[in-house]
Amino acid sequence: MSHILLVEDEERVASFVKKGLLSQGFELAIAPLAKTAMEMALTGDFDLMILDLGLPDQDGLELLDGLRGQGVSMPVIILTARDDIDDKVSGFEKGANDYLTKPFRFEELVVRIKARLRDRPSDGPTAAYDEAQILGQGELLLDLRSRQAKVGVRWVELATREFVLAELFFRNEGKVLSREQILDRVWGYDYDPGSNIVDVYVGYLRKKLGSDRIETIRGQGYRLRQLCS
């Protein structure tokens, strides 16, 4: 039975979601404050978080950023009244797996929860996976189903944007990708050309895949080193 953490301070919404999810067979805990949510999330007892952004003690995006920074990899569905495109973009950039705006249909929330739970690996990828779902060779692999990377004998979790960026590098192994190409294919919208978002996310991947895996080609962009000779 999946255990869900609902981070919501509005009692009417929390009660509505709780009643509906319990009827669907989920276990549910409610955190009305970001501080409480952080403490509960760090226990590792939850399979998924539903996150409101308008929390009384901290903005939900800051909480999400803090969770990912602490290594919390469980799926997060943002459920908020904020429907501005900038908020949606920020949500995904900080590691959200899905974004649903209020007012919402409960049936849609349930569908999204089940989809995100299916995406979450239970005990890590296995050799039974179709080889077509695995990119890379040797000690560095990317599993397209679990959205995890294998570095040596260790599997590491990747946030949404990290995974998309990693897949782009793996599919273009040995090729130099410019910052403009990466922005277009990973973020998919016009972005401030002066932004360092690409450099930031390359830094995230280097920490998880190994500092020497992604090379900086001065004046051109980045390249994933050939995985074998």
> Domain for residue 125, yes or no?
no
pLDDT at position 2 is 84
Q: Is the pLDDT of residue 190 over 60?
A: no
Among residues 66, 87, 119, the one where a domain terminates is 119
Provide, rounded to the nearest whole percent, the portion of the chain with pLDDT above 70. Answer: 89
- Do 56 and 162 have their domain in common? no
**Residue-level pLDDT at 126:** 38
Residue 47 and residue 143 in one domain:
no
- Are the C-beta atoms of residues 42 and 36 closer than 8 Å to each other? no
Give the number of other Cβ atoms within 10 Å of residue 74's Cβ: 20
Q: 95-128 burial, b for 16+ CB within 10 Å, e for fewer?
A: bbbbbeeeeeeeeebeebbeebbeebeeeebeee
* pLDDT for 48: 94
Please report, in angstroms and rounded to a whole number, the separation of the first and last CA atoms in the chain: 46
pLDDT in tens, 29-81: 999 999 999 999 988 888 999 999 999 999 999 999 999 888 888 899 999 99
| pLDDT at residue 229 tops 50 | no
C-alpha 87/C-alpha 25 separation (Å) is: 31
Q: Are residues 91 and 26 in the same domain?
A: yes
Residues 31 and 113 in one domain: yes
Q: Are residues 107 and 16 in the same domain?
A: yes
Whole domain around residue 206: which residue ranges? Answer: 131-224
If one compares 183 and 123, the residue with the highest pLDDT of the two is 183
Q: Quick one: average pLDDT of 203-224?
A: 92
Q: 70 and 167: one domain? A: no
As a whole number of angstroms, the distance between CA 141 and CA 41 comes to: 28
